């Protein structure tokens, strides 16, 4: 396999060019480019590797019957829900992801959102725009309780950074852990309801799986402290948006910072836009300057492993929907 060039099909969003940083790829593989289901159906026959850069795509499900030689799918995202179709789950095709690329940037986003809430930065900006001087006392984050739902690589990075800022950080994972170097405690997901009332901040860092679909709905928001803030950097469908809007309107929780949504882009007339206790960003928490090139380097490194017959990095447990903890 090392002596022969494999065939790599790259699936981008519609009309999007190939990602930057893949210049060495044509010397190491036969490269094909697809940007929708029709072109993917054309290029999949004979392809051994599929590189997916569009984390919202449904093209793979539609083009799957043409995947006659596919052995490896690499997603340039942490979440792999778009590529874990029923056919992929039932196949022996290996799936890898971009674990490790976005962890630090997302952790910085989360800490920044926590500090914005604690220091009432949202109000400061509004007052500045009105040229209004209004002194207020603000909160400390040291000693506050942070609950991270999803204790994988991104959750760990969040935990490390927030603990360095003086916060007490608990985690929620598929299973409880007796000892963990990054979290004070890690609880099983079935105890989420018991952990929510203890938290000042709740962060969703879990992957989207059948088990996490609408994991946060009315009962979970009702269990949280009225003073708690909710942050979602995982996937939009993990949260029941209507239930979140009701919780915010009824002051069941104090605020939310949202980077992901059930519907993206968030419609311009959505009520979340007009809430002064909500921070909104456009699914960009992990997107730092140079992230596209970093993703390409990661894929090329993994391709070198493939061609050398060595184990791939970041292999997703398809049954769980994520890369298991080391």
Q: Which residues are catalytic?
A: 235, 264, 283
| Cα separation, 201 vs 199, whole angstroms | 5
CB neighbourhood size of 150 (10 A): 26
- Please state whether the peptide bond connecting residue 265 to the residue before it is cis, i.e. omega within 30 degrees of 0: yes
Joined tokens for residue 81: 């829900």
- Give a three-class secondary structure readout of 157-215: HHHHHHHHCCCEEEEEECCCECCCCCCCEEEEHHHHHHHHHHCCEEEECCCCCCCCCCC
Q: What is the residue-wise DSSP string for 60-124?
A: HHHHGGG-SS--EEEESSS--TTT--HHHHHS--EEE--TTTSHHHHHHHHHHHHHHHHTTHHHH
Greatest alpha-carbon span in the chain: 70
Joined tokens for residue 11: 């699936």
Q: Are 278 and 284 in contact (CB under 8 A)?
A: no
| Cα separation, 28 vs 3, whole angstroms | 10
Q: Are 11 and 36 in contact (CB under 8 A)?
A: no
């Amino acid at each position: 396999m090392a002596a022969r060039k494999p065939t790599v099909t790259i699936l981008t969003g519609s009309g999007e060019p190939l990602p930057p940083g893949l210049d060495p790829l044509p010397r190491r593989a036969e490269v094909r480019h697809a940007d929708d289901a029709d072109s993917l159906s054309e290029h999949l026959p004979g392809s051994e590797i599929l590189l997916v850069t569009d984390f919202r795509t449904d093209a793979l499900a539609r083009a799957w019957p043409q995947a006659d030689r596919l052995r490896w799918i690499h997603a340039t995202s942490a979440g792999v829900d778009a590529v874990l179709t029923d056919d992929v789950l039932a196949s022996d095709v290996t799936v890898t992801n971009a674990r490790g690329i976005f962890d630090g940037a997302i952790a910085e986003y989360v800490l920044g959102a926590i500090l914005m809430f604690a220091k009432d930065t949202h109000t400061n900006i509004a007052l500045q725009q009105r040229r209004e001087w209004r002194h207020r006392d603000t909160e400390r984050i040291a000693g506050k309780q942070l609950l991270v739902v999803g204790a994988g690589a991104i959750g760990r990075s969040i935990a490390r950074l927030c603990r360095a800022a003086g916060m007490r950080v608990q985690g929620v994972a598929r299973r409880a852990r007796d000892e963990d170097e990054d979290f004070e405690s890690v609880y099983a997901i079935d105890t989420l309801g018991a952990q929510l009332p203890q938290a000042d901040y709740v962060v969703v860092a879990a992957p989207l799986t059948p088990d996490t679909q609408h994991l946060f709905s009315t009962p979970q928001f009702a269990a949280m402290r009225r003073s708690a803030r909710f942050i979602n950097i995982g996937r939009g469908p993990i949260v029941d948006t209507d239930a979140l809007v009701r919780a915010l309107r009824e002051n069941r929780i104090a605020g939310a910072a949202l980077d992901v949504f059930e519907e993206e882009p968030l419609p311009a007339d959505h009520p979340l836009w007009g809430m002064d206790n909500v921070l909104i960003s456009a699914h960009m928490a992990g997107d730092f300057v140079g992230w596209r090139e970093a993703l390409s380097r990661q894929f090329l490194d993994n391709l070198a492993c493939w061609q050398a017959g060595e184990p791939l990095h970041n292999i997703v447990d398809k049954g769980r929907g994520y890369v298991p903890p080391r």
